Chains A and B, each alone.
Chain A
């Protein structure tokens, strides 16, 4: 029945008629099968199972990859705290069979026409919709930093890159490690700080105090605060206690890989022996090319309804969420999860026609790690949460917080992706 999704033609209408008559089903099209897209698809599939069976509702999800990769776990990979197997899952295992899941070139979005309600993919196929959900996330933009690709080590972009960095960290004995974040926004802005604390603990307690004494850790941060005030307060305290140097408001000009130096906008040159970079990020090119994104490739939305409010007009039937949108104060997986529940509920309300709207209140979370589990430390963490108008309260990382945080990555597939909580 996928013919229903292709551009109508006389032959297709005839086929459809011969297959049992023309049914006017409501079509929900979801772009991106990450956390947000999968959660919306699964929640709708659960709610509209009868309507799907009767052909009254169709839910389709598109993605170029058929494997879901849990990016939030990359930070832990260099220290062996999660394995690649922990962080990957075939998408067909976590998306309800009631959802038409399309992967590969047929699922890779190339252009979006909001006026015509049409999405075209890499294979040339096109999909029409009644409701569109954009949840494609964002992508690293390494080339935007002059010289960075000549010495690019990171835990941010893939499991392979995180494993490669793990090998470097395991053998690094002496010198200066610079952890560089050139600019905001980035997904999961708490991750650079978390990584740095874990790196310190790894060098100090796993590799040994002697190694840590011979390693200087420098944290270059592009803005004044590391997260909201309460987060910044605890991060600053922990960094100071662990002898990690912070340079705030660092504006990067280029990476000089030949001389192993990071060059600031004011000409300041900072030497490094190992450079670990969190690359700048941008939205998906297809959206910029389609003219529906704002600068940086982000999809603009109303901060409460998550409906599209952008350069080509306002479209109430189009929702965007997660890292690729302007929703939320910062881009976090926990925020995307909250947003997905709101988008799904509003679609449920729309399809039922009950006239009720629910709003995203800016709920998001950014876990803080104070220590990892080592022979000398028990592991400490806290999942800091706040909302648009309710600031983060002061907190202290705890061992229970660490255990809950560790567990979260294992149960993610069966809870968040399936919109069970």
Chain B
């Protein structure tokens, strides 16, 4: 066998009894988890984690989140949530003349198209 290896430097750390107790507790918990888990459990946990990562990627990869962040804090929306207005079919038709509603619908229609395309990919 070849290759020189340096001695590892050690640094003393001072702990009081309560800190030591907490540390032992953490180590016991880690030991419990370590002994409890097996390969199959790791596989199953990983499948769930993959879904979470997909969600993270989705959220991190779209400006729709920024739009929603601002839109959901809109003072007019706050007012509407305090006293939700009742909108009739005629009210809906009238609202569609509003430029902001038209933009929102445009985004929703493109979102529907994108979901359709992605589902048939």
Interface residues, chain A, with chain B CB atoms under 8 Å away = 45-46, 49-50, 81, 92, 96-97, 224-225, 228-230, 232-233, 236, 373, 379, 393-394, 399-400, 403, 406-407, 410-411, 413-415, 418, 420
Contact = CB atoms under 8 A, between A and B. Distances in A.
A211 B9 CA distance: 44
A400 B35 CA distance: 9
Contacts of A236: 1
Nearest to B41: A403
Contacts of B1: 225, 232-233, 236
Given A49-B61, A406-B39, A414-B57, A232 B50 contact: no
A411 B8 contact: no
A229 B3 CA distance: 5
Interface in B14-40: 30, 34-35, 37-39
A229 B62 CA distance: 46
Contacts of B37: 403
A143 to B, nearest CB: 32
Interface residues of B, number: 29
Interface of B: 1-5, 8, 30, 34-35, 37-39, 42-43, 45-47, 49-50, 53-54, 56-57, 60-63, 118, 121
A97 B45 CA distance: 28
Given A92-B121, A403-B37, A411-B49, A233 B42 contact: no
Going nearest first, the 10 A-B pairs with the smallest beta carbon separation are A229-B3, A410-B46, A414-B53, A414-B50, A46-B61, A373-B39, A407-B46, A236-B1, A406-B42, A407-B42
Contacts, number: 74
Contacts of B45: 407
Contacts of A394: 5, 8
A373 B45 CA distance: 17
Nearest to A373: B39
Contacts of A229: 2-5
Contacts of B30: 400
Contacts of B121: 92, 97
Nearest to B61: A46
B43 A96 contact: no
B48 to A, nearest CB: 10
A225 B56 CA distance: 41
A236 B56 CA distance: 42
Contact of B50 (A50, A230, A399, A413): A413
A323 B45 CA distance: 30
A83 B26 CA distance: 35
A221 B83 CA distance: 77
Nearest to B53: A414
Contact of B3 (A232, A407, A414): A232
